[in-house]
Amino acid sequence: MTKSIRHIFKKKNNYRVRGNLILECDGERFFGPGRVELMELIDETGSLNKAASKMGMSYKKAWEMISDLNAQSGKPLVILKSGGEKGGGSVITDEARELIAYHKLLRKRFQAFLDKETKQLHA
Amino acid sequence: MTKSIRHIFKKKNNYRVRGNLILECDGERFFGPGRVELMELIDETGSLNKAASKMGMSYKKAWEMISDLNAQSGKPLVILKSGGEKGGGSVITDEARELIAYHKLLRKRFQAFLDKETKQLHA
């Protein structure tokens, strides 16, 4: 097992292991927390424009993210319906819901890994 | 267990889970791959200046990284010996070597986690 490094720490300070994960497709970002949040907000608001705005993101940037997501997956994840200047009526597909659910479980397993490592730091 | 999302993937594309880890101290970066590489290069070259230059980093930036590292740990990790304009003669301590060894094992465990998740993606 790993030798403890606790003796190197400052006594009153709080050390922990943190990190992030993404899912790649052919070496490019496929999805991570940002894209998941965008899909969830489209589901909530029914609008790419509203979702982008809630994330402080331009419509163009959000449109590109969705375009990438759809191009990288075998099935459409978000269906954008052009509806005037608000671009209203966009929906996410069942496959998008599955990806979101998968991502939640993946993050849970990752958090368990991080918690275990952080606990071990102080062991 | 996680429901398979394989049916959402494009058949010929290559999907995988990637990520990165850092060790934090009181919510701030304590060390990650960059600081480990800098410490290893100081050990190899005996010089902060040479180490920084090998990483394409300014002396000032490297000096700040080392200063942070030393301030966040309970024991000195790098001893900088001022020696003229080249700032020569810097050394890493036994505690730095322990941290580097710990980091290697941590990354190994993390890679095992990522490999398992990537394998599960295609299961």
Average pLDDT over residues A11-34: 93
The single-letter DSSP state of residue A6 is G
| 3-state secondary structure at position B53 | helix
Task: Write out chain B's pLDDT in tens, 123 residues.
Answer: 567 899 999 988 899 999 999 999 999 999 899 999 999 999 999 999 999 999 999 999 999 999 999 999 999 999 988 655 554 589 999 999 999 999 999 999 999 999 999 999 988
Residues of A in contact with B32 (CB under 8 A): none
User: Using 50, 70 and 90 to split pLDDT, how confident is the model at A58?
Assistant: very high
CA atoms within 13 A on the CB side of B70: 15
Look up the ipTM and state it: 0.88
Per-residue model confidence (pLDDT) at position A84: 54
For the CA atoms of A105, B108, B74, B62, what is the dihedral angle to 10 degrees?
Answer: -100
Q: What is the pTM of this model?
A: 0.88
Count residue pairs from A and B with Cβ separation < 8 A: 117
Per-residue model confidence (pLDDT) at position A11: 85
Residues of A in contact with B28 (CB under 8 A): none
The single-letter DSSP state of residue A27 is T
Subunit contact A3:B95, Cβ cutoff 8 A: no
Domains assigned to chain B: 24-121 (1.10.10.10)
Instruction: Spell out the residues 6+ positions from residue A46 whose beta carbon is closer than 8 angstroms to its own.
Output: A88, A89, A90, A91
CA of residue B8 relative to chain centroid, distance: 34
- Lookup: tokens for B28: 């701030």
Residues of A in contact with B109 (CB under 8 A): 113, 117
- Lookup: tokens for A90: 């966009």
CA distance A65 to A84: 20
